[in-house]
Amino acid sequence: MPAVPTPDRSTDAGDLVFGGHAFKDAGLLRQALTHRSAGAPHNERLEFLGDALVGLIVADALYTRWPKADEGVLTRARSELVRESSLALIARTMDIGGALILGPGEMKSGGHRRDSILSDALEALVGAIYLDAGYAACRDAVLPWFAQAIDDLPVGKVDKDAKTRLQEWLQARQRPLPLYEPVSESGDDHAKVFRVRCRLVDIDIAAEGEGSSRRVAEQAAAEAVLQVLLVA
């Protein structure tokens, strides 16, 4: 069994501190940082739990911080904070990549630097903290990770995502909504790359985008179509 990753420090009680939380159960920390390529138990179930917790913690923080913001603004702000690239950036500041337990193939291919693996591990870490100490301790540990990103958001003014902006641009001109068509999927199950085409149905304009999920790929494709429309 792999050794427990090097913690930030140890407490007098022997708990391992990682991500600002003193783990009583070292096995949860190990599991949170174990990619499926390294075998079981890996972090995918913890990631599932952590994904929901991150959404709740960030939504609660935004709701409290912006008492006059409407649902749309809050939703866009949350999406900005919890998207894959944002979570991966936080993971890098915590050096989660250096603590990951990866299989030989992922180690060789630089999996510790990949956004998808880093963001998944961060969410798994949140799930592990919750199971180790409960919601209040989890919230207290996780909120500081997002403090700077929340501070950097313009209060009540968060840009809409590309798909929403494209839809509104077309609707304002009474034009039909675009179609999003899957083009390809590649890579292993744990590191999929999706490619999607965004196509306008009333004019010969289309563009492709790719990402670690269909949603990310659709956003990239919509952004590419918007760029074409705005310079036309």
Q: How many H-runs (helices) and E-runs (strands) does the chain carry? A: 9, 6
Catalytic residue among 15, 84, 123, 218: 123
Structure-block tokens of residue 70: 């409407």
Q: Is 123 annotated as a binding residue?
A: yes
Residue 26: Cβ within 10 Å count: 16
Confirm whether 51 is a catalytic residue.
Answer: yes
Q: How far apart are CA 113 and CA 225, in angstroms?
A: 29
Cα diameter, the chain: 68
- The identity of residue 221, as a single letter, is A
- The identity of residue 229, as a single letter, is L
Structure-block tokens of residue 149: 């990103």
Catalytic residue among 51, 80, 132, 161: 51
Q: Is 47 annotated as a binding residue?
A: yes
Q: Is 185 annotated as a binding residue?
A: no
Residues 6+ apart with CB under 8 A from 214: 182, 194, 196
Binding-site entries for Mg(2+): 47, 120, 123
Catalytic residues: 51, 123
Binding-site entries: 47, 120, 123
